[in-house]
Amino acid sequence: MKIGFVGLGIMGKPMSKNLLKAGYELVVCDVVKKAVDEVVAAGARSAANPKEVAKQVDIVITMLPNSPHVKQVVLGENGIIEGAKAGCIVIDMSSIAPLVSREVAGKLAEKGIAMLDAPVSGGEPKAIDGTLSVMVGGKKDIFDKCYPIMKSMAGSVVLTGDIGAGNVTKLANQIIVALNIAAMSEALVLASKAGVEPDLVYKAIRGGLAGSVVLDAKAPLVMDRKFNPGFRINLHIKDLGNVLETAHEIGVPLPLSAAVMEMMQALKVDGMGDSDHCSLVRYYEKLAKIEVKR
């Protein structure tokens, strides 16, 4: 089975390499030539644009920054819709607004092209080692057909409902991750300011109810002052923007999400937009005039 992959950024590049390792024939495309060359060196073939990718494959995977990019790549000039044959499947693994997923899927369906929205969680480390969590929306028969492909890049692949449900699930995921990082930041700044070693606090609480995957992933980075991404503040701002937009459209107040969004916006203004989202601790450190470190 031939697979196309459009979008070879911080997540897409390692994901595409894992498809190659799994033995899939891959045709790739990206605006950054260096990224394309690297994946081609690993065994893929390149195409000039998404249309040319779609002409050559049975399934096209997209991994793009946000809703407008997905609409352009799938539906725009030289887009996937212009090259794909009836019966082709598009797996959009970008994190975008659920209503846009439904809009794009509707346009593709008119041409006999199926779609799954399948955003991922886990950041660059899990993209590299192939243990991402994938949350999928779409028809079950299409999901079943594509499951082995997605599983070659992931530790967990779960169908959560019809088209758009994958991105609703991702929005829920991003709320929980953002609020966990904020809570961890508050706690470790409090401990540090009170004169208690944050590393000992972390070790004491990680095995109890306060323990979480987020705590284990981010607390050591904070204490070692390692703020390189990971998952950028700017990308989490994008996701929380989609969270709040969707929530407003369906009438769901999200006061905690809105508060963390403003904290991240403040960090962006301070020039930290390209730092890892665990940099949220620096918002609290600035207020308390203390650093959380070992």
Instruction: Quote the tokens at residue 148.
Output: 């082995």
Scanning the structure block, which residue is given the tokens 């449900």?
A: 165
User: What Rg value do the Cα atoms of the chain yield, rounded?
Assistant: 20
Q: Indicate the pairing of strand 120-121 with strand 132-137.
A: antiparallel
Distance CA 181, CA 175 (A): 10
Does residue 139 carry a catalytic annotation? no
**Contact in structure between 122 and 133 (CB atoms under 8 Å):** yes
The catalytic position among 17, 126, 170, 218 is 170
Left (φ > 0), alpha (ψ -120 to 50) or beta: where does 292 sit? beta
Q: Nearest 5°: CA angle at 280, between 244 and 66? A: 40
Q: Is the peptide bond before 230 cis (omega within 30 degrees of 0)?
A: yes
Assign 155 to helix, strand or coil: strand
**Contact in structure between 271 and 265 (CB atoms under 8 Å):** no
**Contact in structure between 274 and 234 (CB atoms under 8 Å):** yes
Residues carrying an active site annotation: 170
